[in-house]
Structure 1
Amino acid sequence: MKNLILAFFLFFGSLTLPKESLAQKKGDPMFQVPLGIAAYTFRNQWENGVSETLDIIQEMGFKEYEGGVPNGVSPDEFKAMLNSRGISMPSTGTGFEQLESDPQAVADRAKALGVKYVMCAWIPHQRGQFSKEDADRAIEAFNKGGKVLKENGLIFKYHVHGYEFQPYQGETLFDYLVKNTNPEYVALQMDVMWTHFGGADPASLLEKYGNRWVSLHLKDFRKGAPKDMTGLTGPENDVPLGEGELDFPSILREANKIGIKHMFIEDESDQELEALPKSIAYLKSLRY
């Protein structure tokens, strides 16, 4: 009889429990991965010294770094500087033309840094007029380049920038790009602000393409600022996380559900040193 009652509750309880409740409890933090930073955030700081800038990054509590090697230091020197501060470097970037013309050179540079991922953040196109021809060029470059990177033990990821959401055959050119790239060779990184800027819903898109996503860039967009499909806007429209238009609880809930392991804050404002502590505090305040 006891076993029958237990079976009853296990069966009918599973019908009513929300999916996330099986893994998350009320009060658990929503931000559950190492705190990451995108190198572009500190574009105004590197000239003040690489060591000095890394000290700021360390003091703010960042544990992961995505980007390239700043001018003035070698890859080995930079890796040592990160390691001494307890910061890992899971991901670096590449230009589209580099990937298209010589993916092996891209792989060699990435391996010298000891990263796992190589990210491309822009597909060449006429501003505001991303086309099927542009997408087809990217599909070919990503599939070929991604294959070379995989053969070298690396994972290629495309960083969504917002201009890809031009309508196409009842969907968007972003959908076309995802469906025509090989999942074995091409993963995805969502920049949540650019996704929103281009007219898509970040949480819904995370759900739609599931494990194609491997990382996020986190930034927020000023309330009421104009949006379009250029993938370009001024630094005045980048605000601390939680102060803009994006729904970060929904984004983090879905990201956790699909198993995103890397999230990098990218602040494109001109007040990054003032904004970052606010963004970090906001992320840490979010609870289920």
Structure 2
Amino acid sequence: MANRRDFIKSSAILAASGMAGASFLSSCGTGSAEATPTSKSFLGLQTYSLGDELNADVPGGLAKIKEMGYTDLELAGYGNGKIGDVECADYKKMAEDAGLKITSSHLSPSIWLYRPDKFDQFDEFWKKAVEDHVTLGVKYMVQPSMPNITSRDDAKNVGEVFNRAGKFAKDAGISWGYHNHSGEFKRIASKEEQEAADKAQREMLDQYAAMMGGGGDPEEQAALKASLAAMMSGMGSSVGETIEELLIQNTDPSLVMFQLDVYWAVMGQQDPCEWLEKYPDRYKLLHIKDRWIIGDSGMMNFEKIFNKAYSIGITEFFVELEGDSKGRRQFEGVAESAKYLINAPFVM
């Protein structure tokens, strides 16, 4: 039977082997502040956060967003030359009338096979989209949908499509970028890399099983190895490269920038600050996200994230909320999130 010292020793070996996985950001934050909101120099909102609540009355909804203290918008819902059911020129005027600036937009083509024979279709989509976004007056166009990438060759094809889209946007004075979810932190490894890693893990399991006991009973040994394997599987793999890294490597920095969604990075077992530190010239925008209301979950260290972002020159970010599991109105969550950020001393 393993004692406490043996267990600590085993844990140390795990960490030293690189199998301990990614470090996480712990939260020191408090809940939403109660002070009367004013505003910040930049406080962006991704309109996806409001969905049909905004679409039901766009002018009225935009006025509410302004009253909350938001200064800039990142749009969602582009298609067929419109934002939802609203013509691009009309949406721009509605935003201006509300005192808001449309700075960015999320959009993706309805094409899922990133192959050379499809490149012309991607080009057609992005050329038209750029024209419409010139009308909107945006500074950024960002793709939020993740292509299917299962190999390094897939990543090269996706990178080519992104570079071409970036060129169309750049020629029109717009920066083109990509937004992550958690799937981009899955690793892609060659067959040889994976086989070597699997062999090393089997040898490690045998070593730990011998250290931690289980006697001579084969069933006990099998149960112990299964338990250790399950523990390791939750720690993440360090074999190969993440999809996010492959996208960064296969895109031209002068054509493609990246928007880091800090919540989805954490959900992908990553530390957002480490990515900002490693690629300060590629990340230009942030998505500020939590389980729902910003700052309420206790799992995101927004102070460190903002401090790191400002240190590398990022000043533009957009709040994004998914639907609330308790059925509360999205406008409520967006308003409370604005209060938290406006009253946060670490937000400029």
Question: Quick check: 1:36–1:63 contact (8 Å CA) kept in 2?
Answer: yes
Q: Which amino acid aligns with 1:286?
A: A
- Hey, what does 1:14 align to over in structure 2? none
Moved more, 116-125 or 67-76: 67-76
- The alignment partner of 2:84 has SS state of coil
Residue 32 of structure 1, CA deviation? 6.1
Letter in 1 for 2:247: L
Return 5+ residue gaps in structure 2 as ranges: 1-38, 112-120, 190-239
Give SS of 1:119's match. Answer: strand
> Is contact 2:266–2:272 with CA below 8 Å preserved after alignment?
yes
Indicate the structure whose relative CO is greater, using CA pairs within 8 Å and at least 6 residues apart.
2
Aligned partners of 1:121 and 1:160 also within 8 Å: yes
Counterparts of 1:31-50 in structure 2, within 5 Å, are 33-50=41-58
* Residue equivalent to 2:295: 242
Q: Is the 8 A contact 2:43 2:317 kept in 1?
A: yes
Residue 211 of structure 1: SS of its match in structure 2?
coil
Rounded to whole Å, the distance in 2 between the matches of 1:124 and 1:76 is: 30
**Rg bigger for which structure?**
2
Letter of the aligned partner of 2:289 in structure 1?
K
CA deviations on 1:234-259 (whole Å, 9 max, x unpaired) are xxxx3211122111111001011111
1:281 aligns with: 339
Matches within 5 A, 1:104-253: 104-125=127-148, 130-168=150-188, 170-220=240-290, 238-244=291-297, 245-253=299-307
Any idea what SS the aligned residue of 1:188 has? strand
CA contact (8 A) 2:105 2:140 kept: yes
From 97, 101, 104, the counterpart of 1:91: 104
8 A contact 2:160–2:250 mirrored in 1: no
Matched with 2:122 is 100
Q: Aligned partners of 2:137, 2:263: CA distance in 1, in Å?
A: 28
CA distance in 1, matches of 2:323, 2:41: 24
The amino acid that maps onto 2:102 is M
SS at 1:62 equivalent: coil
Separation in structure 1 between the aligned mates of residue 65 and residue 344 of structure 2, nearest angstrom: 22
For 1:132 and 1:64, locate their aligned partners in 2 and report how far apart those are by CA, in whole Å. 37
Percent identity, aligned pairs only, is 32
Q: How many pairs align? A: 238
Name whichever of 97-106 and 269-278 sits farther off.
97-106
Relative to structure 1, is the Cα distance of residues 203 and 124 closer, same or farther in structure 2, using a 3 angstrom cutoff?
same
Moved over 6 A (4+): none
Q: Could you say which residue in structure 1 is the equivalent of 2:193?
A: none
Distance in 1, Cα, partners of 2:142 & 2:57: 25
Provide the alpha-carbon RMSD of the alignment: 2.1
Decide which moves more: 191-200 or 169-178.
169-178
One-letter amino acid of the counterpart of residue 217, structure 1: H
Aligned residues of 1:120 and 1:159 also touching (Cα < 8 A): yes
> What is the distance in 1 between the residues matched to 2:58 and 2:99?
16
Q: TM-score, normalised by structure 1?
A: 0.76
What does residue 79 of structure 1 align with? Answer: 92
Is contact 1:92-1:117 (8 Å) kept?
yes
* Per-residue deviation, 1:106: 1.9
* Runs of at least 5 residues in structure 1 that lack an aligned partner in the other structure: 1-30, 221-237
Contact 2:146 2:180 in 1 (8 A): no
Check 1:45–1:144 CA distance in 2 against 1; reply closer, same or farther (3 A cut): same
Q: Which amino acid aligns with 1:90?
A: T
Any idea what SS the aligned residue of 1:203 has? helix
